[in-house]
Amino acid sequence: MPVAIQAVAWLVAGVGSTETWKLVRTMKIMSNKLASLLSRAGIFAGAWLATAAHAVNDLPGGPAVNQLNFAPPVTKIAEEQHWLHWMMLIICTVVFIAVFAVMFYSIWKHRKSVGHKPATFSESVTVEILWTAAPFLIVILMALPATKVLVAQKDTTNADLTVKVTGYQWKWGYDYIKGQGEGLSYISTLDSSHRAMSDAGKPAGDNYLLKVDNPLVVPVGQKIRVITTANDVIHAFMVPAFGIKQDAIPGFVRDTWFRAEKTGDFYGQCAELCGKEHAYMPIHVKVLSAADYTAWVDAEKKKQAAKADDPNKVWALDDLSKRGEKVYAANCAACHQANGKGAGSIKAVDGSPIVLDANKSKQIAVLLNGQNNGAMPAWKQLSDTDIAAVITYTKNNWSNKTGQSVQPAEVLAARK
């Protein structure tokens, strides 16, 4: 304020005086600074928008850029959920507008300043019946179709294919329990290139953190029952396009189902905060035509038969260690680090007395049963050969030079 008064005084005192010019110059400098600041902010925002626009596109079957609505439905259930959502939203909006319209109209119309006198009645049976009955009817109207969908969602009977989905920290296990493909069983983990992108802080691609090594493969048009459970903590199996989300709880089984109406790739995430790698256990469901599915099952069965290792085979140390390196990268490096040093409460395997111990059964026991109440998880689900291989690898890598190898038969014998 005083500056403004001074400015007016200067102007009145005479345009052209040195003081006036000083002020004008100051104002010019200030406005220039402001303009450059604004334009810099503009360039920054522009650049950010440009990179965002170039870097990501909609992922079919997964998230879309600036997505506001639910994922496009691929099952009847998901379609019904959309319908329910919009119906309820519309009913709520209409009620909201109606109530507020009546309220504001009444306040305005009967305001004191136009001379309205308040009515003097204290109870109105009509109004009370009306404002009880109307909401009751509305709630029933909403609850009826919602209950119908809820019941349909829970009806997991007569499934064509049953898959057990197990949540692990931090990956998914898929076991085909009943139906075509019965007996197939595999683990699905985040693609390691995405892990590397995340570590480097350089996200790229439309399927960032959604790419896995082995997607869950199912046939189109068939009822798939999904049994969920978990091995360590609570996870949740969620695929928005199918309208399913089911907690996976250790020691319990829950189930849900879907019947995909379209072939294609559909994506989801673990939907229960389950630890530090919660964001790194995506779900990829590949829906194939009946013929493609049959071909996939046949190929997969052949692969598993070829992979099925004879637990009595005796391996050379180098071969075991080579195989163990892969097992370690896929299962252990997330915690123990590629360099075997661990971090924080995660003990190092490089130099660990248990790893170096001449009594091999000690480390076999750690792998089969875990350690410290599951802080180190149990790895029973790995094959005897994989466990033997990873132990052999840790015993002969980094600074560990024990020269010991652990054979699959020793692991088999230690299992109970």
Write down the least CB distance from residue 185 to ligand HEC, Å: 18
Of 212, 214, 377, 203, which Cα lies nearest the Cα of 280? Answer: 212
Phi and psi at 113, nearest 5°, equal -65, -20
Of 354, 337, 219, which Cα lies nearest the Cα of 287? Answer: 219
Residue 376 near ligand HEC by CB under 6 A = yes
Q: For residues 220 and 348, which CB has a smaller minimum distance to ligand HEC in the complex?
A: 348
Residue 126 near ligand HEC by CB under 6 A = no
Residue 228 contact, options Cu ion, ligand HEC, none, Cβ 5-8 Å cut-off depending on partner type = none
Copy the structure tokens of residue 271: 């939907």
DSSP state at residue 114:
G
User: Strand order in 171-178's β-sheet?
Assistant: 185-188, 171-178, 161-168, 224-230, 254-258
Residue 323 near Cu ion by CB under 5 A = no
Q: Which residue has the tokens 């652990």?
A: 406
Contact window for ligand HEC (CB under 6 A) among 181-189, 223-231, 372-380, 397-405:
372-380
DSSP codes, 205-241: STTTTT-BSS-EEEETTS-EEEEEEESSS-EEEEEGG
User: Contacts with Cu ion in 189-248 (CB under 5 A)?
Assistant: 235
Residue 377 near ligand HEC by CB under 6 A = yes
* Pairing status of strand 224-230 against strand 161-168: parallel
Selected binder of ligand HEC within 334, 364, 389, 406 (CB under 6 A)? 334
Please compute, for residue 389, the number of CA atoms within 13 A of its CA located in the half-sphere on the CB side: 24
Contact window for ligand HEC (CB under 6 A) among 81-89, 137-145, 260-268, 353-361:
353-361
Q: Which residue has the tokens 């989905």?
A: 165
Residue 379 contact, options ligand HEC, Cu ion, none, Cβ 5-8 Å cut-off depending on partner type = ligand HEC
Residue 157 near ligand HEC by CB under 6 A = no
Q: How far is the C-alpha of 328 from the C-alpha of 345, rounded, in Å?
A: 19
Residue 218 contact, options ligand HEC, Cu ion, none, Cβ 5-8 Å cut-off depending on partner type = none
3-state secondary structure at position 180: coil
Write down the least CB distance from residue 186 to ligand HEC, Å: 16
Sign of CA dihedral 353, 169, 287, 228: positive
Selected binder of Cu ion within 241, 260, 270, 334 (CB under 5 A)? 270
Residue 71 near ligand HEC by CB under 6 A = no
3-state secondary structure at position 166: strand
Selected binder of ligand HEC within 218, 297, 320, 366 (CB under 6 A)? 366
3-state secondary structure at position 1: coil
Q: For residues 180 and 198, which CB has a smaller minimum distance to ligand HEC in the complex?
A: 198
Residue 266 near ligand HEC by CB under 6 A = no
Write down the least CB distance from residue 233 to Cu ion, Å: 7
The contact set with Cu ion (CB under 5 A) reads: 235, 270, 274
Binding site for ligand HEC (CB under 6 A): 169, 331-332, 334-336, 345-347, 349, 352-355, 363, 366-367, 371-372, 375-377, 379, 390, 394
